[in-house]
Structure formats: structure tokens, C-alpha cells
Amino acid sequence: MTENFADASVRIRPAAADDLPAIVAMRDRLNELERAGCAHAAIQPFTLEQFTTHWSPSMTNPNFCWRIVEAAGRPVGFGLIYLLAPQLPRSAAYIHWAYLEENQRRRGAGRLLLDELLAWARSKGASRVELQFIDGNQAAERFWTKMGFRGFARKCVRYLE
């Protein structure tokens, strides 16, 4: 628990298939925020059915760690980290998502979620953790910088239609 964390009812738990509708709804809100910062960002829209087909097998894969942030028993955030090359020793881990609903931000829950994801990566023997955030997402840039992440590449897209 971080020092500035206000709401003792917040907890982090593993995600399960039942959480998929809430996760997809939160991902939609994240994508909206991201497109506002960068309209050409390469973001793939997913229906619940498409998302479930694509992602639900990973929920029982030991190389993936899905987490739900709950407040007063309701999902208010989620995170996903996984090993990039689990067949190799000391694989990198990749944070694919870290999201909190707007009214839950700046109260320490992001740090709490990250601590959980990093603890999982360490427990898997990962040598480092990588992530990306969309241009224009200043809150993400400030948060990740504060948490010790440093940029090392640029991501680009050229659409084919």
C-alpha cells in the first residue's frame, strides 16, 4: 500500500473470464483517451467477442499475468504483463495494459498495480520490463517516467488502405 493511497477498499486480484466485459469497456475508454492524444495511433478495435477469442486463452497461461483493480468490489482498473520470450532465460516482460478509471487516478493505485506487475515479472525471473504508451498521453508519460522507465525507441505506422 502506498503512502498517499486514500481508499482502503481498493484491492488488486487476478482477472478471470468473467471480467472480460469490464476489461473490454475499460479498454474502449483507454483507446478513446489515446486517440484524443494521437488520432493516427494504431489501435485495433475489438468487440467483446473478438477480444475474448483473442485474449481469453492467455488468462490461464502462466506466462501472462492479468490483474483487476477493484474498489468497493467493482472493477475500476486492469493490468496485463507477460513474458516476451518465455522459452529464454531471463526473458523481458512487457506491460501491455495498465488502466484506471478516471476517478481512481492520482491516489496511488497506479503505483500499487505496477508493484504487482513488477513483482510477478521478478517471480518469473524477468531481466527487464518494457512498455509503450501512445504519443500525447501525457499522464502516462509522467507516470512511467516517475516509475523509472526511460524511452529507447519510436513506434511508427503506415496504413495500407
* DSSP, res 57: G
Q: How many CB atoms within 10 Å of residue 95?
A: 22
Residue ranges in contact with ligand COA by CB under 6 A: 4, 30, 33, 98-100, 105-111, 133, 137, 139-140, 142-143, 146
Grid coordinates given for 157 = 505506422
Question: In this complex, which beta carbon is closest to ligand COA, that of residue 75 or of residue 110?
Answer: 110
Question: In this complex, which beta carbon is closest to ligand COA, that of residue 64 or of residue 97?
Answer: 97
CB of 110 to ligand COA, least distance (A): 2
Question: In this complex, which beta carbon is closest to ligand COA, that of residue 2 or of residue 50?
Answer: 2
Q: How far is CA 6 from CA 9, 10, 95, 115, in A?
A: 9, 9, 25, 17
Pairing verdict, β 128-131 and 92-100? parallel
CB of 97 to ligand COA, least distance (A): 7
CB of 30 to ligand COA, least distance (A): 5
